[in-house]
Amino acid sequence: MRRALILLPPFLWLLLLVAAPVAILAGIALSEPAPGVPPFLPPVSLEAGWQGSFANLLTLAEDWYYAAAFLRSLVVAFLSAAICLLLAYPMALGIASAREGWRVPLLALVLLPFWTGFLPRLGAWIGLLRDGGWVNGVLMGLGLTEAPVPLLYSDAALYLGMVHAYLPFAVLPLTATLLRRDLSVEEAAADLGATPWVVFRTVTLPLSLPGAAAAFLLVFIPAAGEFVIPELLGPPEALLVGRALWGEFFQNRDWPLAAALAVALLALLILPIRLFQRLEDDGGSRRAASPPSRSSGQSLDMVP
């Protein structure tokens, strides 16, 4: 009875803020667009057949416009996560290898972008990358170019904004994993004549793969549905799921099709979300079963 009372608040929280919105979204996805407020009719009756109930989902499957949006979103999310992972490894390794007194300030620097609003950060990138911005000013001042380089509203600006926004999500789990590694294994490899690169490739990297996978998924999952960064920094022709969903909801006022897009994106992300949960469960089991390493000590309290 006491256990049920303890679990009741989080269960109600998940029911009201997760399950209920998803159920409402699925109901709208099975509805028909219609003029009025709200701009849709309830789900069609079963006499209309399953084709009528799932007309919006069938539209997503048959129209290449939406399939291309999903494909490009996955590509952008994958490349953004890969770039963040490549940048996060040296940063996390440097933080984990630093003296204990320096780790908290270094982690604070990683989290520093979160201390300001999301839109002001994007506005700063717009100011830097526009034709009359600082970047073009420096390039022209150094004589590297005679005319402004079109940096804004490009794929480069899109990935720059994505990496800047999501890099801390990759650094933190990698740092936590590297702080828990056993330094004696690396020292043994070095004593046997392995170079630092060989030690990293054969010892450090395999030991940190669970943290790397978690870091990759923590970036990939939110980046797949990102709308604001592609809209403000990306090229106009970059059709992503977030842009397609926004257009159907606000411009075309086709709420059922927009809800179908959201449901399809959620279904597409269930696998990486479940994979991330599995990695978290396995990592927690390994941490509970193994004693703390020499490199961790009390420093693990500083990393979530």
Name 194's Cβ contacts closer than 8 Å, sequence gap at least 6: 202, 203
| Residue 253 region by backbone torsions, left for phi larger than 0, else alpha for psi between -120 and 50, else beta | left
Residues 162, 266, 285: CA angle, nearest 5 degrees: 85
As a residue count, the chain comes to 304
> Higher model confidence: residue 223 or residue 114?
223
**Count of CB atoms situated within 10 Å of the CB of 96:** 24
Residue 284 pLDDT > 60, yes or no? no
Structure confidence at residue 162 (pLDDT) = 94
pLDDT tens digits for 263-273? 999 888 888 77
pLDDT tens digits for 144-178? 888 888 889 999 999 999 999 999 999 999 999 99
pLDDT tens digits for 23-32? 888 888 888 8
pLDDT tens digits for 191-210? 888 888 888 888 888 888 88
95, 183, 224 from 250: Cα distances, Å: 44, 54, 20
Here the tokens at position 189 are 């490899």
Domain extent listing, the chain: 22-283
Pick the CATH number of 22-283 from 3.90.1150.10, 3.40.50.2300, 1.10.10.10, 1.10.3720.10: 1.10.3720.10
Structure confidence at residue 301 (pLDDT) = 41
State phi, psi for 301 to the nearest 5 degrees. Answer: -70, -15
